[in-house]
């Protein structure tokens, strides 16, 4: 059974400063936890299941776990409908390494968008993602959940984008309203793609470094595209033309 210290520790990881201090983060839900256990069990710190979950699901005996009741479990999670399983994982150590194609994120604030973008980067084989320091935290529980394990597979670092853009010789693409249609220009999976903030787009500090503005043209209604949707469309176009 979970000890009081373990309960206190897990609850503390709801705060970013504690995640940063302990280099740990929480993953919730059967699908996310199972996927990470299958691919990165060496990062596992603590696995917790409820008695009900244990009655209804198979849990590998090769992985040690703690059992708790539903009332105690509800205190460990912010989920409205907890699934009865969570895990504490060590944060992977990720470092910047310039690649032939990279994704730069400028002020992404929504955890769901961030997690989906990291998942898209994983799908399309992006080997380096760089986030501005004002982006939402990578190990925010909602980011981790929506990334579906991609936080372990895609190197993501936080760094002032201008510092790296000043030094690079790669072409810099940016999603801008005044850009050239993505369907009317040759794209190569070579360069940097910059995606901006959900409401304000690419920041004034980063704009001067954009050498190839690109636009996803609108053919129907709607005011704008969600940034994660736009990222998926652009990455698909880069891959299609590579």
Mean pLDDT of 74-83: 86
4-90 homologous superfamily: Ribosomal protein L30/S12 (3.30.1330.30)
Q: What is the pLDDT of residues 222-236, one digit of tens each?
A: 778 999 999 999 999
Contact indicator for 101, 189 with CB cutoff of 8 Å: yes
16 vs 14: CA distance, rounded Å: 7
Domain spans of the chain, in order of start: 4-90, 101-240
CATH of domain 101-240: 3.40.1280.10
Report the percent of the chain where pLDDT is more than 90: 74
Tally of CB atoms within 10 A around 32: 21
Mean pLDDT of 148-159: 92
Same CATH topology for 4-90 and 101-240? no
Least confidently predicted of 5-9, 107-111, 176-180, 221-225: 221-225
Contact indicator for 71, 120 with CB cutoff of 8 Å: no
* pLDDT for the residue 12: 96
* pLDDT for the residue 49: 94
Residue 139, both tokens: 């190990």
Distances (CA, A) of 37 to 48, 89, 189, 224: 13, 10, 32, 38
Residue 14, both tokens: 């709801």
Identify which of 98, 138, 115 has the alpha carbon closest to the alpha carbon of residue 232. Answer: 115
* pLDDT for the residue 227: 96
* pLDDT for the residue 157: 97
Identify which of 211, 210, 170 has the alpha carbon closest to the alpha carbon of residue 191. Answer: 170
* pLDDT for the residue 91: 94
* pLDDT for the residue 185: 86
* pLDDT for the residue 209: 98
Tally of CB atoms within 10 A around 141: 23
DSSP-based three-state secondary structure for 158: strand
């Amino acid at each position: 059974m979970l000890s009081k210290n373990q309960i206190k520790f897990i609850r503390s990881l709801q705060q970013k400063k504690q995640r940063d201090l302990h280099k740990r983060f929480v993953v919730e839900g059967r699908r996310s936890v199972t996927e990470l256990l299958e691919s990165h069990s060496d990062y596992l710190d603590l696995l917790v299941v409820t008695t009900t979950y244990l009655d209804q699901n198979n849990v590998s005996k090769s992985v040690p776990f703690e059992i708790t009741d539903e009332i105690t479990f509800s205190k460990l999670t912010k989920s409205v409908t907890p699934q009865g399983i969570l895990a504490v994982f060590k944060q992977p150590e990720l470092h910047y390494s310039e690649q032939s194609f990279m994704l730069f994120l400028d002020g992404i604030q929504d955890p769901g968008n961030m997690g989906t973008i990291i998942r898209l980067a994983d799908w399309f084989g992006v080997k380096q993602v760089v986030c501005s320091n004002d982006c939402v935290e990578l190990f925010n529980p909602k980011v981790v959940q929506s990334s579906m394990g991609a936080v372990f597979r895609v190197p993501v670092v936080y760094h002032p984008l201008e510092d790296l853009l000043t030094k690079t010789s790669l072409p810099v693409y940016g999603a801008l309203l005044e850009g050239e249609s993505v369907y009317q220009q040759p794209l190569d999976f070579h360069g940097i793609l910059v995606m901006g903030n959900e409401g304000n787009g690419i920041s004034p500090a980063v704009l001067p470094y954009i050498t190839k503005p690109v636009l996803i043209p609108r053919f129907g209604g709607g005011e704008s595209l969600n940034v994660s949707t736009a990222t998926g469309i652009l990455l698909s176009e880069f891959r299609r033309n590579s």
